[in-house]
Every structure is written in C-alpha cells, then in structure tokens.
A and B are shown apart, each in its own frame.
Chain A
Amino acid sequence: MGVASGSPDRAGAVLGWALALAAALACAGFAQLVPSVAAGTAHEMVLPWAERLGVSLAFRLDGLSQVFALLITGFGAVIAVYAGSYLKGHRHLGRFFLYLGLFMIGMLGLVLADDLILMFVFWEVTTVASFLLIGFDHAKPEARRSAWQSLLITGAGGLALLAGLVLLGIAAGTTRISEILAIEGLTAHPLYPAILALVLLGAFTKSAQIPFHIWLPNAMAAPTPVSAYLHSATMVKAGVYLLARLHPALSGTEAWMWSLSLAGGVTMVMAAVLALRQSDLKLALAYTSVMALGSLVMFLGAEATIAIAAAFTFLIVHALYKAALFLTVGSIDHATGTREIARLGGLWRTMPMTAMAGVLAAGSMAGFPPFLGFIGKELKYEGALAIAEEPILLAAAAVLANALMVTLALSILFRVILGRKKPVGPDGPPRAPHESPVALWLGPLALASLGLVFGIAPDLVGATLVQPAVTAVTGAPQVVKLKLWHGVNVPLMMSFATVGIGLLGYIFHGALMRTLQRMPAVADRSWDALLGAIATSFSAISRAVQPGSLRIYLGVSFVVMAVLPLMALVGSGGLSLTMSDELDPVVVGAALLAIAGAILAAAAERRMAALGGLGAVGAGVAMLFVLYGAPDVAITQLMVDVMLIVLVASVMVRLPELRAIGQGRGINAAIAGLMGVAVAALTLAIAPGAVDSAVSADMAAASVPEAKGRNIVNVILVDFRALDTFGEIVVVAAAAIGALALIRMKPRRSPQGARP
C-alpha cells in the first residue's frame, strides 16, 4: 500500500500521536457532557463573525451533534494511532496527519455549527480534506482520478447545497439553525421545492446515494485508515447528518418522504447487490457502506419515532462494525499483501488478534445476537414497517439488503478467517501471514468489542446517545428503549428470513460473484463518458468563440459597442438635430481633414498610406480639441497618434500588404462606419446640456485653493483622482511588460495550427 521508500518522517509520527491525543481528549470532553445533553441541555457558544450578514460563529451541541461528535473524536483517536503504524516509515506521514487533522476539524465544525453558512464552510473543508486524502498516493493515476472524481461530485453537490442553504436562509429570515428549526410551516413556503431539491442534491452526493455513489468505491484508493474513517464512519454521513439536522424544518411532506425513501431504498438494495460482486474485501466493504448510507437516508424519510431511532441505532452499529472491518482488512492487507477473498483463508491460526476483531465485527454486521447489530437490525425492520406509505416494499428491501450483509459476513468468517489455510503463491497470499503490530489490531478489536458490549448492555447507548438524537430530530422528547429480546414478533420472523436468504447467498457466493461480474460497470464508465463529453463540447465552444483571429475579435467588439448604444438611443426616441447657421471655416477644415484621412485609411492599397490617413484623422481631431478649448487633450491626442504611427511602422514590416486581405476590407469599412455613426450619434445625444456640471464646477472651484493648480485636468489626474491615475499607470506598466513577453516569445508552430 502506501509505504513509500525514502527517509521516514519522524516529525510526522509525533504529529500523529499529538493528533490522537487531541482527539482522545476532545472525545473525553464530549463524553463528559453526555449526561447533561441527555437531560435535554444544549450547549451553545456564539462568537461574532460577519454581523452585517447576520452570520456568526455559532456552535451548538445537542443530542444529534453529540452522536457525531463522539464518533468523530473517538474514532479519530483510534484511526490516528492505527495510521501511525499502518503508514510507518512513509515519507509524507506529516502531510497525512495534517490532512487528517484538517478533516477532523472540518467534520467536527460541520456537526457543531449552528449557522447555515458556517456549516457550509465546514462542509467544504471536509470535501477538500477528503480530496487530499484520497489522492494521498498521488503518484498513482487511479488515486488521482478517484480524488478528482470525488471532488467534482461532492463539490458540485456542495454548490447546490450552498444555493439551497441560502434560499433556506431567505425563506426563514435567519441563518441560525436552531431558530430555523423552531419555525413552523417552512414546508408551505413557495421556495420550499427549490430548497428541498438543492439540499437533497448536496446530501445525496456527499452520502453517495445512487447514482452519485460512484465516487465512494473509487475513494478506496485512499490508505485504509482513511477509508475506515472518512468514507465509512464519518464524512459520508455528513449528508445523513444534514438530513437529520434539517428534518424538523423540511420533513413531513410527500416530496421529502418519497425522495428520501426511494433514493435510500434503491441505493440500499443496489449497493448490497454490487457488494457481492466484489472479490476485493475493501471494495466489498465500500459497497456495504453505500448500502448503509442508503438505509439511513431511507429511515430519515419517515416521521415515525421508531424509524428515526432505527436510523441512529444503525448509525452507531454501522460505524462500529464497519470501521472495525476496514481496519481488520487493512491489517490483513498489511500482513499478507492481498485483499482478495479467494487468496485468503485460515487466518485465525497466524493472526489471531486480527481474526478476533474480524469475527466480532462480522457478527455485528450480520446482525447475530447478542451483538448490537442484532438490535440495529430488529429496529430497522420495525422502522421499515412503520414508514407509512410502502411498508411492505421497504421492509422487503431491508430484508434483502441485510441478507446480503449476512452473506458477506459469512464469507469473511468462513472463507477468510476460518477455512483452509492457503499456501503462499499465485492462488494464495503473496506473503506468509503473520500477526500485525499491536497498533493494527488493538483499534479494530476495541471497536468490534464495543459492538458486543453495547449489544449485551444496550442501555449504554440507548438512553445516552440514541434517545437524545431522536429527541433532537423529532423535536419532541422521546423515550427509546433498546432491548436484545423483543419477544416473538414480525421483526424476529424477518430476521429468520434474513439469515436464511443470507445462508443461501453464502453457499452460492462464488457463482453469484461470477454472474454479477459479467455485468458491465455502467455507472463508472458513464462518468468517464460524461467528462469526455464535457471536454469535447467545451473545446468546440472555445474553437467557435475564440478562432484566434484578432480581426474577428475586434470586429465583434466594435459591432457590439456600436449596436447596443444605438439600440438604446433608438429605444429612447432617437435623435433630433438642428443645424447651426454659421459654420466656422476652421472647424469645417479640421473636420474635412479628419474625414479625408478616414477615407484614405479605408481605401489605401499600401499600409504606409493607410497609416498616413490615420495620422490625418488624429491631426484633424486634435485640431478640433484645440478649437474647443481642450489643449491638454489635443496635445495628448497628437502625441498618442505620433507614438501609434511609430509602433505600427515597426510592426508593419511583418504584416502582409493590405491587398492580401481582399474582400474582408469591405466588412471592415462597414464596421468602422457603423462605429463612427454610433459614437457621433451618442455624442450628439449627450451634448445638449444633459450633463450635470455640478461636479466639474466643484472641482474647478477647489482646484486652486485646495490643490494649488490652475490646470484642472492635471489637478484631477494627480490630486483629486490620484488613486485612479495610479491604477491606470499600473495597468500601463503591466501591459507593456506583458506585451514585451509576447514580442520576445518566439512563435511556435504546432501541427494543429492555433491550438497549443
């Protein structure tokens, strides 16, 4: 796996221990608050932030946040210790723990934030941290592809979520979550459909609901501790958290119920089926994570207390067994060099402690008594039966999904851990199995044992964690009793059915796997097709919009510049002209000079002649400026014209003669004429006294006393509006340096012409 050569990162190892310690202390801190939160207190902390936007750094710890906070910090400590051993000697250990710490902070902030905007910021932090961790082995192309895929999917969902949260903030009139949840009737707001669609898009992408699930199995390119932590126990549940958090405000409608139970139910069954086709243990676990996320989403679609209770019990169950299984697989991978089910067997002889963790976790996953998984499964069946609209369908889906979990658990138990020991070789493990270091089995063993302890004494989590969370989600005090033995009832019957189907699945697991593997992997391949289509269409657009010809760019710019103001002018009633009786012959002469120059420039056969024509236009216009009392502008105009001719003359030797352009010149002349008409018409429209002269009068009055200057133009440039001028000269200098780089750059002819 990720063990690269090179000098080991000692500082990184220290950072890992520091992170583990910090997470453990935070976990202890949250644990200390459990009794008060369970009693109904919400701990709040509010710091000022962007007051004008009504956004503050508001944090709130209630029953819902508490479950997640404990998961994040407790698992975080276990994972940090495990990763220190798993990635021992890795060159970038420090970088790894930095990313992991960033993720922990982001995730903790996400579940504690009591402000929509603040929550979104942390939401994005977890997306970025996940991207960095998936791409941790960035030398591998598939790691980079997976990281990129997860970033695009969850990032796009994040954008939708932002829009949804902003709309929600507008609809509610505040961004404080605790205030929003207290508002009645948000579901009747006209913005509600848009809010719901956007928020669901964010939650479904993050929590890998079909068809957005493709990134999660690919995210297994990350080191195994990351898969266990981010992509199973915590981050992918951010979407679930969001749905639970906004449940009081947004739930209770047909749209909510149908979209959640359908998306969740379909995801649950599909992912369970897809899990069976995987021969790689880690990938199989990844699909069971998708299945778990599907069932969590499905239960949150309901209103019934029992469904919510089922969701949170299962959330804890799943986090415990799935993280333990991931870490077990990581330990097996570490010791044997493979994760293929077919190449492993009889591991209990050589790695007893790892095997023990695996057995306990698989027992909880299969939902056998007396594990917490059994209670979770019974509650799931009860919850599914309680969902109002389609109880039979959903309950059947839950049975099927759970049966497939049983199949997988049995395969792990009887093929990987028990079973025949395989000799080292192409059909067996690449390396002789041996027990992993203590840090690699202690964590999973502890987590898996908790699944057993909580199963035997369910009150340890029932009243302290599940009940406060359910209370927070339903908005009313609830009593949740978790019991191992419910008596003989429908869920128990369904459990028997589950085990039966699961057993059948186990017997035919090999055949099922081969059959399923023959199905094409549609979803992931369509992702590549989608990206390819986007790239192709955008390069087509670029080719159409940016043909690379300066003439076309200038032509389009000028036409737009001319047509838009002309349309505005015509729309506002056109122009009425009155001819002056007497014409100053000098003015007429200057104008005629400019006109003659323009005609010459447009008609000239040689560039030098055209340039002379342009010069004549500049001189004529400058003369008009002098005649109408703007000597500064006149001098500038003249000088700019001189410099323009110098510049163009230096460039000219490299340009083709004007004749070579051919018929395009007619179009050029038409565009130039249009531009001239537009500017002239606008000038005439503005001229008759529509300009407010108060500003210029003020400046003229202040020029001498305040700025000690009699030339108002200059005073404005260097004093009154000096900051503007400063900005302009910075642009001039930057443009010159940029142009210098372009001139110095030798043209490279690529085979495809304009494309680099």
Chain B
Amino acid sequence: MTDWSAFWLSIQVTLCGLAIAVAVGLPLAVLLALRRFPGRNLLEVLVTAPLVLPPTVLGYYVLVSVGRSSAIGRFWESLTGGPIVFSMTGCVLAATIAALPFVVKNSRSALEAVDPGLMEAAANLGAGFPRRLWTILLPLARRGIIGGCMLGFAKALGDFGVTLMVAGNIPGRTQTAPLAIYDHLLSGRDAQAQGLVLALTGLGILVLWLVNTWANPRPTDRRS
C-alpha cells in the first residue's frame, strides 16, 4: 500500500546531509573545544542557531542565499548546470542544516570531557597534534560524537519546513518522506501515509533509545 520511494529518498538525502555535517561539524567541534579565539562564542551561536530558529526563517535564509537569483546560486548553476533549489542538492542542504547543530554540540561536549592531562602527557612524550587527535581525543570522545551524529540523523530525516520551501516537492526527486506524508494526508490517502508515519516514528524512537543506552548512558547503567 505504502509507496516507499519517498522513504528511501529521505534516507539517501539524510545520509548525504549527515556526511557533510560531520565533515564540517567535527573540525568545528575540535576547534571550539580546544582553542580560545575571538568570535568563538559567535561561531558556536551561528552553528547551533538552527536548533531554535523557526523552519520558515531558515527556509527564507536558504532561499535568499542560495536561490537562483543569489550570487551563490548563480555560481553553483554555472558550475553544475543545475540550481541548488528544486534539486536533491537542496534537500541535502536542508538535511545538513538540521543535523549540524547536534553534531557540533554533542561532539564538542564529548571532546571537552576528555581529560586534558592525557593530551599533555602524550605531547610530552613527543606525539604531534594529529596523532593525539587520532589516537586519544577522537577514540575517547567517540560515544558522544556518534550520539550527536545519530541525533543529527533523526532531526535531518524529519526536516519539513526548510525542505518544503527550497526543494519544490517533486515526487521521486525532491519529495522526502515528511513531505510525502503531508501530501498523502491532505489528499485523504491516510492509508498511504500510515506506513511512512510508522517508519519515521520507529526510526526516531530507535535512535533516541540507542543514544540513551549506548552513546550517552546514565552513570548507573555504565559498565566498565
């Protein structure tokens, strides 16, 4: 009964968006956790603003900044031949914006929780920064980082407002699962919507459960 193409499109879009959010967000989290520099607070506020801004505000910013009459939009179109809006690129951008705050915030607190003494000891033993990052910091902070990624995934999978405004709702191309649910419900096809509703609910609950039990366990649950 349910048409799953929107669901699989959503999964693809979300994974792409999450990959970009990690590529951008993890270095930012390392920077925010380890370095003090002017504008540090402003940077963090900007990165995490999507958590508190209304989707319509975000969607408006995206339309204005990467729309077809914007400088970025025109540059992209001259480069790739297609616009960012009304394409899967637009959906991925929306997913990245949704996931980024979770990736940065959670990774940053996990990185800050790593005992600085360990980093100093390794430095005294002659380990350079890349090696300390790779062998001490990231492995010790991995639960928090992965937890942030999972929350980011769940949030990006459910993005509605920004995607609605920038992606054009084209079935099979830019119609993600939340948009498909909306269209099904408005057209009175509740049965079609139900499968997607259940799938998104299940995924969301699974992610939260994993984050609570594995990535971010309460002290009493922890075995070590």
Q: Do A and B come from one complex?
A: no
Chain A interface residues toward B at CB < 8 A: none
